[in-house]
Amino acid sequence: MKEMNGAEVMVKSLEDLGIRQIFGYTGAIVLPVFHALGKSGIEIVINANEQSSAFSAAAFSRSSAGVGVAVVTSGPAITNTLTAVADADADSIPLLVFAGQVPQNRLGTDEFQHINVNEVFHEAAKKVILIAESTDIEATIKDAYFFAKAGKPGPVVIDFPMDLQLKKCVYQGTDIARYKYKYDQENHLGRNQCEQFFSMLQESKRPLLYIGGGLQSQAASDRIRRLNKKLNIPSINSLTGKGILDESLDTSLGMLGLFGVPYANMAIQETDLFIAFGVRWNDRVVQKVGEAGLIAEIAYIDINAEKVQEVRATRNPKFSFIGDACIVLEDLLEYLEAHPVSLALDGWRARAAELKRKYTLDYNRQSEHIQSAEVMDRLSRHITPTTIFTTGVGNHQMLAAQYLKTLRPNSFLTSGAFGTMGFSLPSSIGAHYANPDATVIAIDGDSSIKMNMGEIHTIGSLGLPIKVLLLNNHGDGMIRGIQASLYEARYTGSERATDANFANIARECGFAWTRKIHSREELEPALEEFLAAEGSCFLEVVVDKDESVYPRIPIGKGYKDMILGPYIKEGC
């Protein structure tokens, strides 16, 4: 036991939890915490704003097994942070946010920069906690860390009044195991349930695995890969499920949905057993199995009891289970070791490979302008097991998801459910600190990058070895696509005749290597130089403003209505 002030107790608790970096921005109401951090072994990463701090912290979680931590001050810092917290909650990402707060005797008043933190975050966070006593600080923090990871993961916001940051108290040094094991509630499949699952699988002629972000961990990826090495079931994935299975396999059909790859969107129309692990059934997958026009048996495993109950009520799955998909996979593997299962799927596997071969992604190769899809296609040839991608939101995000065949889990970080522009740059910073030996490539569009453009300065001034690839089409590409089809090509508010030279801005902010290119002849040499260069690198590629993303499914339509576009042709 040791006497210290509340801010020091907070920092010591974080050290006990293994936290080595925090992301944040200073302010008067949170200075006691920053002062305590400055005397600790925890590295402070100062972002350009609070939203970026929380994005960086969430990306630390997205790309590792840890929990990222953001520390922000009061008032506008709270509202700035809201978007990133909501984004983490939508994608089930564990995150700790410490919010500086006015002294307790000024809560509920018109004190300078005071806002009710619970009212701001209660619909956007897994939990919001107001620390009311100095004796609660250590227990609150250690419990919150494991609660953020437990069950359906999500962000926890801790409201920390300044008087408690300064008040002297005793640090207990409670063993973190006390909090960790509190949330170790494993739901296992019983033998009869395993028998039911595999019996259903053996009866199927065209089973299809659907892998979602709930399996986005090294442990879950290892297990689903082991299971499918034995069974070799054709698979598709959600946007946030990229990298969990090996995307290079013939039977790995890639991303499903509104802008999903053609062979994934075709395979779902032919399956007779849809096996969904760790997915939310959100509207970006367009049409859901079990609805009219898309009938198949369903097996659904997810930790979110509310979502499983909803699917049971609306789509009558043949098999469903509420529990951690990673644990369920271990149960299935153990059963499979003791009871070998044989599947007669040669014809279905051949069909999956045929779909992948016949409907290859393609783009306008005759255009005088560089195509964004072309950049992604060329970049895909340079992926290594240590490559981590982050994306903004827009056409570049969908093209990256289509073309980049990620090799491992936690290596494609994108804003899935919330679709937040400005995600890429701050997320690349968090990914770098979680994976300092990885090659982190931030892919962005000119509209999305400007949402958190201050992180160009953060990356450059800190000399972080992050590679930023900007696809500049001088407009809002995805919005232009909607306007072209629904608004008679009236591009109101979605294009810009002129724009800044982003590569020059990056150079001024301290990037070691920058370049801007306009012509196709420059593309491959520039990419190779960009990938080989050391330090902070920025490549700006001017691309075709009229390029559309294909395939796509018209709003309100189903998979059978998928539009391949003018360049994807049926092959042999």
> What contacts 181, CB < 8 A, 6 or more positions away?
none
Q: Which residue has the tokens 């369903």?
A: 298
Nearest to 296 by CA among 205, 405, 366, 211: 205
Beta strands 2-5; 168-171: pairing state = antiparallel
DSSP 567: T
- The fold of 2-183 is Rossmann fold (3.40.50)
Amino acid (1-letter code) at residue 147? F
Helix (H, G, I), strand (E, B) or coil at 51: helix
Q: Please report the pLDDT score of residue 295 as a whole number.
A: 80
**Bond preceding residue 551 cis, omega within 30 of 0:** yes
CATH superfamily of 372-546: Thiamin diphosphate (ThDP)-binding fold, Pyr/PP domains (3.40.50.970)
Tens of each residue's pLDDT in the chain, 572 residues: 788 999 999 999 999 999 999 999 999 999 999 999 999 999 999 999 999 999 999 999 999 999 999 999 999 999 999 999 999 999 999 999 999 998 888 878 888 888 899 999 999 999 999 999 999 999 999 999 999 999 999 999 999 999 999 999 999 999 999 998 888 878 899 999 999 999 999 999 999 999 999 999 999 999 999 999 999 999 999 999 999 998 888 899 999 999 999 999 999 999 999 999 999 877 566 667 766 667 899 999 999 999 999 999 988 999 999 999 999 999 999 999 999 899 999 999 999 999 999 999 999 999 999 999 999 999 999 999 999 999 999 999 999 999 999 999 999 999 999 999 999 999 999 999 999 999 999 999 999 999 999 999 999 999 999 999 999 999 998 888 888 888 888 989 888 877 889 999 999 999 999 999 999 999 999 999 999 999 999 999 999 999 999 999 988 888 999 999 999 988 75
**Sign of the CA dihedral running 287, 292, 297, 303:** positive
Provide the residue ranges of all domains of the chain, joining segments of one domain with +.
2-183, 191-358, 372-546
Q: How many of the other CB atoms lie within 10 Å of CB of 151?
A: 16
Provide CATH code, domain 191-358. Answer: 3.40.50.1220
pTM of model > 0.85 = yes
DSSP 47: -
Residue ranges of the alpha helices (H) in 151-190?
162-166, 177-180
Q: Please report the pLDDT score of residue 486 as a whole number.
A: 84
Q: Please report the pLDDT score of residue 372 as a whole number.
A: 98
DSSP 565: T
Helix (H) or strand (E) holding 312: helix 305-315
Strand 297-302's sheet: what is its strand order?
A: 252-255, 235-237, 207-211, 273-277, 297-302, 319-322
**Sign of the CA dihedral running 198, 204, 205, 206:** negative
Whether the CB-CB separation of 514 and 538 falls below 8 Å is answered with yes
191-358 and 372-546 share one fold: yes
Whether the CB-CB separation of 393 and 448 falls below 8 Å is answered with yes
Q: How far apart are CA 398 and CA 113, in angstroms?
A: 39
Q: How far is CA 98 from CA 180, 318, 480, 571, in A?
A: 20, 43, 39, 54
Query: Tokens for 274?
Result: 């849809």
Q: Please report the pLDDT score of residue 285 as a whole number.
A: 64
DSSP 371: P
Q: What is the CA radius of gyration of the chain?
A: 24
Q: Please report the pLDDT score of residue 292 as a whole number.
A: 65
